[in-house]
């Protein structure tokens, strides 16, 4: 394993160069093959990782806990009521205390600014397990899934349909770093952050790919090899639920929309899904859905990140 990521924070896909994304993916493929062959690793032997979660989780918590254990380390889970970042004590105080006990902090936070503050005060690496602005580990798992399916990224086109949210931000930045073209379709007012789009477009051009932002889901999906969607209302946006349901009518990933994609197109969803809203059961549970591969690959992508950073 290379040493370029050792001791560094991973708060954003922006923290990884294209070469470092390649390094994470190569190691993730390797660790997955060896896990399936029954080969055990002690890469994190004697190391402790704090899982500091302000939001509930199924995939993120389980994959990080299991991943740390599979690499020979151990984790300490801190639930939303345990720490209360910035309420019970300041974010820097939490970071400085945890740094005396553990070798790394995996944080799932409400505000990205709190994650940045945590990293600034921590003496150990901080890994973003979801913030309101990005979800880099999800994007790495997505790339791992797509590379398994297509063998690479050259000539592959993805469509993002729905909200230009935190997962969309990370997917755009990650896709651009491997030359995967993406067309995003959102209702007016729900497009991804313009700075993220501009950065992704510039990076994608270096690899002969493109990033487009549209308002017509059929235009985005036409001929796409990948159709990706996420919930219309993320955690913390519950008060906007009805407003968002109205705004996103016509953006559901259903069989009719999927028929506009490439005949061999696969469907991604980071889960949990609001079945019947952003995606139908027919598509989510259908033969072109790879959402469970996606969920499984979170484990192996995150193991690679942990091994390289810690």
270 is catalytic: yes
Please tell me which residue in 135, 157, 169, 225 is annotated as part of the active site.
135
Domain boundaries 139-295, corresponding CATH code: 3.40.50.1370
Please tell me which residue in 9, 61, 70, 138 is annotated as part of the active site.
138
User: What is the pTM (predicted TM-score) of this model?
Assistant: 0.97
206 is catalytic: no
3-state secondary structure the chain: CCCCCCCCCECCHHHCCHHHHHHHHHHHHHHHHHHHCCCCCCCCCCCEEEEEECCCCCHHHHHHHHHHHHCCCEEEEECHHHHCECCCECHHHHHHHHHCCCCEEEEECCCHHHHHHHHHHCCCCEEECCCCCCCHHHHHHHHHHHHHHHCCCCCCEEEEECCCCHHHHHHHHHHHHHCCEEEEECCCCCCCCHHHHHHHHHHHHHCCCCEEEECCHHHHHCCCCEEEECCCCCCCCHHHHHHHHHHCCCCCECHHHHCCCCCCCEEEECCCCCECCCECHHHHCCCCECHHHHHHHHHHHHHHHHHHHC
CA distance 16 to 232: 28
CA distance 149 to 299: 17
108 is catalytic: yes
What is the reported pLDDT for 75?
A: 98
298 is catalytic: yes
168 is catalytic: no
26 is catalytic: no
Domain boundaries, the chain: 13-134+298-309, 139-295
CA distance 89 to 93: 7
Range 13-134+298-309 has CATH code 3.40.50.1370: yes
Tens-digit pLDDT profile for the chain (310 aa)?
A: 556 899 999 999 999 999 999 999 999 999 999 999 999 999 999 999 999 999 999 999 999 999 999 999 999 999 988 988 878 899 999 999 999 999 999 999 999 999 999 999 999 999 999 999 999 999 999 999 999 999 999 999 999 999 999 999 999 999 999 999 999 999 999 999 999 999 999 999 999 999 999 999 999 999 999 999 999 987 777 788 889 999 999 999 999 999 999 999 999 999 999 999 999 999 999 999 999 999 999 999 999 999 999 9
Q: List CB contacts of 78: < 8 A, sequence separation 6 or more.
A: 50, 51, 52, 53
Please tell me which residue in 9, 59, 61, 108 is annotated as part of the active site.
108
The answer to whether 13-134+298-309 and 139-295 have equal CATH topology is yes
Please tell me which residue in 9, 70, 177, 270 is annotated as part of the active site.
270
């Amino acid at each position: 394993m290379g040493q370029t990521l050792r001791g560094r924070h991973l708060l954003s896909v922006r923290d990884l160069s294209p070469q470092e994304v390649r390094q994470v993916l190569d190691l993730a493929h390797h660790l997955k093959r060896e896990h399936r062959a029954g080969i055990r690793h002690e890469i994190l032997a004697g190391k402790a990782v704090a899982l500091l979660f302000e939001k509930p989780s199924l995939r993120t918590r389980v994959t990080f806990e299991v991943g740390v254990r599979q690499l020979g380390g151990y984790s300490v889970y801190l639930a939303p009521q345990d720490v209360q970042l910035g309420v019970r004590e300041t974010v820097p105080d939490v970071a400085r205390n945890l740094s005396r006990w553990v070798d790394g902090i995996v944080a799932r936070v409400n505000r990205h600014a709190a994650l940045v503050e945590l990293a600034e005060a921590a003496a150990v690496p901080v890994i973003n397990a979801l913030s309101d602005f990005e979800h880099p580990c999800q994007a790495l798992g997505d790339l791992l899934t797509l590379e398994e399916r297509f063998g690479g990224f050259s000539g592959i086109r993805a469509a993002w349909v729905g909200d230009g949210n935190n997962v969309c931000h990370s997917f755009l930045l990650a896709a651009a770093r491997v030359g995967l073209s993406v067309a995003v379709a959102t209702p007016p007012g729900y497009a991804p952050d313009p700075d993220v789009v501009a950065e992704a477009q510039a990076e994608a051009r270096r690899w002969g790919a493109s990033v487009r932002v549209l308002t017509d889901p059929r235009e985005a999906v036409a001929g796409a090899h990948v159709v990706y969607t996420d919930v219309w209302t993320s955690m913390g946006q519950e008060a906007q639920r009805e407003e968002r349901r109205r705004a996103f009518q016509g953006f559901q990933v259903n069989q009719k929309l999927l028929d506009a994609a490439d005949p061999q197109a696969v469907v991604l969803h980071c889960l949990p899904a609001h079945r019947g809203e952003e995606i139908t059961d027919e598509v989510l549970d259908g033969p072109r859905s790879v959402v469970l591969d996606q969920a499984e690959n979170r484990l192996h992508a995150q193991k690679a990140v942990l091994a390289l950073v810690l």
